[in-house]
């Protein structure tokens, strides 16, 4: 049996759109030394494939980072399988807040050097000495103090559509860039109470340990990230201090946490928080686009890309021959660059 998917992404996406099966989207991570990542990877693929699990898993010597979609009727079987590994027994599964069952269309398990690219040399500090974990109630209590500093450890395109009230939002493209950027922003504040947050918690595990290592004294992190915070707020009837949408790294591209729309269409400037990827296969730029601009530009980021996708398919292939589309997919658009003038 081939331990990877051989069907084209387009075919799988078309099948996903027609799928009526109820599915649950979830995520989890764990920093734990995995000696034989290749064997573990293949074992995971075989068992998850049997459960019709789709999604993306990154494995490394330092642990596992997973975002998955599972048939809802198989959720408990998946949980039991994961818990059969001692280091995953009892691991929190972050269940998506807003889920249409169309988050992933195939299973992909990749071995990497790190489960999150951070640019840090883990041999120079204790990565397990992370910040104090806060649940939603404790987070709200601590942030009621105006002296508390809240830091968003995500990228600009994530915080653009949603973030906590009064949070520091670094203008960065990657987590690797965020670490030194935040350090500079917090210069002279090593005794302040600092709470950091991200989507599901994984980036803050490493970031909080790093900031403690370089001298910050009162470091906290939001346990389970925005996803778990939203769940607890809803279940416990707490004040929701998050504004807007939570960006997610799957086909949904976002889940609504509050009713506020805090961002704008990158093309016309009207309030909008819907991310999309440019329909030009040689571009795939990630940007925010309203329905009117989507219709005007046929789902593209510029009129140039619109002209390209209106060409015959063979001509499009000819034009993008030799383009490294792997890197193109991860470009992120900014509001000032895409305004229709």
Known catalytic residues are 198
DSSP letter, residue 201: S
How far is 280 from 325, CA to CA, in rounded Å?
Answer: 11
Report CA 251 to chain centroid distance, whole Å: 11
Tell me whether residue 331 is exposed, middle or buried, using C-beta atoms within 10 angstroms of its C-beta: 0 to 12, 13 to 18, 19 or more: middle
Q: In b/e form, how buried is each residue of 17-35, taking b as 16+ CB within 10 angstroms?
A: eeeeeebbbbbbbbbeebe
Q: Which of 100, 80, 78 is nearest to 27 (CA)?
A: 78
Q: What long-range pairs does 124-127 form, CB within 8 A, spacing at least 24?
A: 124/213, 125/209, 125/210, 125/213, 126/209, 126/213, 127/31, 127/62, 127/205, 127/206, 127/209, 127/210
Residue 15 belongs to what H/E stretch? helix 9-18
CB atoms within 10 A of CB 338: 20
SS3 149: strand
Token output for 133: 């974990």
73 token code pair: 């009727």
Find where tokens 């993008």 sit: 320
């Amino acid at each position: 049996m081939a331990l990877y998917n051989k069907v084209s992404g387009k075919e799988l996406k078309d099948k996903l759109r027609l799928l009526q099966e109820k599915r649950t989207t979830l995520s989890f991570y764990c920093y734990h030394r995995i000696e034989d990542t290749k064997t573990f990877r293949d074992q995971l693929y075989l068992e998850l494939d049997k459960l019709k699990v789709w999604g993306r898993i990154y494995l490394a010597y330092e642990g596992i980072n997973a975002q998955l979609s599972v048939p809802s009727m198989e959720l408990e079987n998946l949980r039991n399988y994961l818990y059969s590994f001692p280091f995953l027994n009892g691991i929190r599964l972050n269940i998506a807040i807003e889920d249409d069952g169309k988050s992933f269309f195939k299973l992909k398990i990749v071995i990497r050097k790190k489960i999150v690219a951070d640019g840090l040399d883990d041999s120079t500090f204790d990565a397990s000495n992370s910040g104090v974990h806060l649940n939603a109630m404790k987070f709200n209590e601590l942030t009621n103090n105006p002296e508390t500093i809240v830091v968003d450890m995500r990228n600009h395109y994530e915080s653009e559509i949603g973030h906590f009230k009064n949070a520091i939002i670094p203008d960065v493209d990657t987590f690797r860039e965020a670490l030194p950027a935040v350090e500079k922003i917090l210069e002279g504040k090593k005794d302040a109470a600092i709470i950091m947050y991200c989507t599901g918690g994984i980036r803050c595990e490493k970031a909080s340990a790093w900031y403690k290592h370089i001298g910050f004294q009162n470091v906290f992190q939001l346990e389970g990230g925005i996803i778990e915070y939203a769940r607890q707020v809803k279940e416990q009837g707490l004040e929701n201090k998050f504004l807007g949408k939570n960006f997610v790294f799957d086909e949904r591209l976002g889940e609504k946490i509050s009713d506020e729309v805090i961002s704008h269409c990158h093309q016309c400037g009207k309030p909008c928080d819907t991310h999309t990827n440019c329909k030009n296969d040689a571009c795939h730029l990630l940007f925010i686009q309203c329905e009117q601009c989507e219709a005007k530009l046929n789902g593209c980021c510029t009129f140039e890309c619109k002209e390209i996708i209106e060409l015959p398919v063979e001509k499009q292939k000819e034009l993008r021959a030799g383009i490294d589309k792997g890197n193109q997919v991860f470009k992120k658009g900014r509001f000032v660059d895409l305004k229709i003038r």
